[in-house]
Structure formats: C-alpha cells, structure tokens
C-alpha cells in the first residue's frame, strides 16, 4: 500500500474541503496567514505536523484523508 505525500494532491483536497469558505475565514480559524494557506492549497508548501492536525480537526477529517 502506497501512502506517499503528494503536495499537489493535498492542495486539491484542501481547496475542495474549503468549499465556499474564503481563505481569510479558514486561515483565521486555523490561526495561520492567508498566504500560508494559499501555499498549502497550491502545493508550494507543506504544513508542519501541528498545522496538519489543526487543519484535519477544523475540517473534521483524518489527517491521512488530506495529506496521504
């Protein structure tokens, strides 16, 4: 079973999870900058593990569902 991290795929999942919410709304709830969220969504940056946990908790999904 492959569970390799793919930043682009994770970014697509983050965009889908955000849905109609604004980046500002989500980044404020997560206590991160809008630019950091934008980079996570574009696959340019990978969040630290503590941020991954916050994101998964916010969207109420397992970390693995987003990042692996």
The reply to whether 1 falls in a domain is no
The reply to whether 2 falls in a domain is no
Q: Which residue segment(s) compose the domain that 40 sits in?
A: 7-67
For residue 52, give every residue at least 6 positions away whose Cβ sits within 8 Å of its Cβ, in sequence order, or none: 63, 66, 67
Q: Is the pLDDT of residue 12 over 50?
A: yes
The reply to whether 12 falls in a domain is yes
Residue 11: CATH number of its domain: 1.10.260.40
Q: What's phi and psi for 62, nearest 5 deg? A: -65, 145
The reply to whether 55 falls in a domain is yes
For the chain, give the mean pLDDT: 94
The reply to whether 21 falls in a domain is yes
The reply to whether 31 falls in a domain is yes
Total domains present in the chain: 1
Q: Is the pLDDT of residue 65 over 90?
A: yes
Residue 10, classified by CB atoms within 10 Å of its CB into exposed (0-12), middle (13-18) or buried (19+), is buried
Q: Name the pTM for this structure.
A: 0.91
N residues, the chain? 68
């Amino acid at each position: 079973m492959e569970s390799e991290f793919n930043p682009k795929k994770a970014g697509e999942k983050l965009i889908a999870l955000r849905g109609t919410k604004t980046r500002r709304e989500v980044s404020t709830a997560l206590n991160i900058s809008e630019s950091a969220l934008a980079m996570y969504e574009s696959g340019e940056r990978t969040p630290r593990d503590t941020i991954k946990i916050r994101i998964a908790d916010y969207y109420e999904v397992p970390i693995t569902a987003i990042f692996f």
